[in-house]
């Protein structure tokens, strides 16, 4: 015999009265606090409690760094031809289409011109949510064109890296971009035009092994993962446990691989002062 019996039907919410909370809150990976997403956006995705730096998309990055958040986009129509017709679990074309739909970009980088505290600059910002910010032929071409414009117009260059490295779906074509961009940066150096490299979380693989570490100043955000091979691959190769914080920006600064670590809210002023040092 049942001790309890429901006499009434459960209360049903009125039509249209259901409150949706999914996606409105974010848990901080640093302090584990729950943060209202709108509050996080007002701090440029920096935790107000502990200062943990969440990832920031390319458009927000440009709004952060450039005066009034205004810029002119360059080379936005470039699109890969899928040179290898690559297919794994799904075709490269399908991956491209999905990323283009999700981000509104043709590829994993925005090349822009604007001003930074009144000084004209060229800024390239990588978009990590586009196939992991990977560098294929389009990213390589856009960065190279930006460098060539910087040389021709003698405008300082800032590149914001956020990438998993070279894009495997383009094979050797993607690896060629490392040498192509590095050669263009050599011409920029000969012209004595400054290049500031900003490394964010993550900056890895072929991007780290080429332009990300070739700046006149190499600057990183706090806690950014920066390296070539991943920690797991390194541990399996050398068969040793890596030290705490290995490949994080603080570790790299301590070992002489970076010039500075700058919190996100101070980046614009720091970059502008750095350019004044080079140019004034």
- Contacts (Cβ under 8 Å, ≥6 apart) of 216: 189, 194, 195, 196, 278
Residue 257: predicted pLDDT: 97
Residue 265: predicted pLDDT: 96
Residue 167: predicted pLDDT: 97
Whether 118 and 67 have beta carbons less than 8 Å apart is answered as: yes
Task: Name all domains of the chain by residue range, CATH numbers in brackets.
Answer: 22-54 (no CATH), 55-279 (3.90.226.10)
Residue 23: predicted pLDDT: 77
- Burial environment of residue 233 by CB neighbours within 10 A (0 to 12, 13 to 18, 19 or more): exposed
DSSP conformational letter for 98? H
Nearest to 170 by CA among 96, 263, 67, 70: 96
DSSP conformational letter for 70? -
Residue 230: predicted pLDDT: 86
- Contacts (Cβ under 8 Å, ≥6 apart) of 168: 134, 174
Whether 180 and 140 have beta carbons less than 8 Å apart is answered as: yes
User: What is the pLDDT tens value at each position of the chain, 280 positions in all?
Assistant: 556 566 666 666 565 555 555 679 999 999 999 999 999 999 999 999 999 999 999 999 999 999 999 999 999 999 999 999 999 999 999 999 999 999 999 999 999 999 999 999 999 999 999 999 999 999 999 999 999 999 999 999 999 999 999 999 999 999 999 999 999 999 999 999 999 999 999 999 999 999 999 999 999 999 999 999 988 899 999 999 999 999 999 999 999 999 999 999 999 999 999 999 999 8
């Amino acid at each position: 015999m049942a001790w309890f019996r429901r006499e009434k039907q459960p209360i049903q919410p009125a039509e249209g009265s259901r409150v949706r909370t999914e996606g409105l809150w974010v848990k901080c990976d640093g302090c584990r606090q729950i943060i209202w997403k709108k509050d996080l956006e007002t701090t440029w995705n920096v935790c107000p409690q502990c200062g943990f730096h969440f990832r920031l998309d390319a458009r927000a990055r440009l709004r952060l760094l450039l005066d009034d958040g205004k810029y002119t986009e360059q080379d936005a129509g470039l699109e890969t031809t899928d040179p290898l017709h690559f297919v794994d679990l799904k075709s490269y074309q399908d991956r491209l289409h999905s990323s283009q739909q999700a981000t509104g970009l043709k590829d994993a980088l925005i090349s822009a011109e604007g001003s930074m505290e009144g000084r004209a600059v060229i800024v390239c910002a990588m978009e990590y949510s586009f196939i992991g910010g990977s560098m294929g032929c389009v990213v390589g071409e856009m960065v190279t064109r930006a460098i060539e414009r910087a040389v021709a117009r003698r405008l300082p260059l800032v590149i914001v890296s956020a990438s998993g490295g070279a894009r495997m779906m383009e094979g050797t074509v993607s690896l060629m971009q490392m040498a192509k961009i590095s050669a263009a940066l050599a011409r920029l150096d000969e012209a004595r035009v400054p290049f500031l490299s900003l490394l964010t979380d993550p900056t890895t693989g072929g991007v780290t092994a080429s332009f990300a570490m070739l700046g006149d100043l190499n600057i990183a955000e706090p806690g950014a993962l920066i390296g070539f091979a991943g920690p797991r691959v390194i541990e399996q190769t050398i068969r040793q446990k890596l030290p705490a914080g290995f490949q994080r920006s603080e570790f790299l600064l301590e070992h002489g691989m970076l010039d500075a670590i700058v919190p996100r809210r101070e980046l614009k002023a720091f970059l502008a002062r750095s350019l004044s040092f080079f140019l004034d």
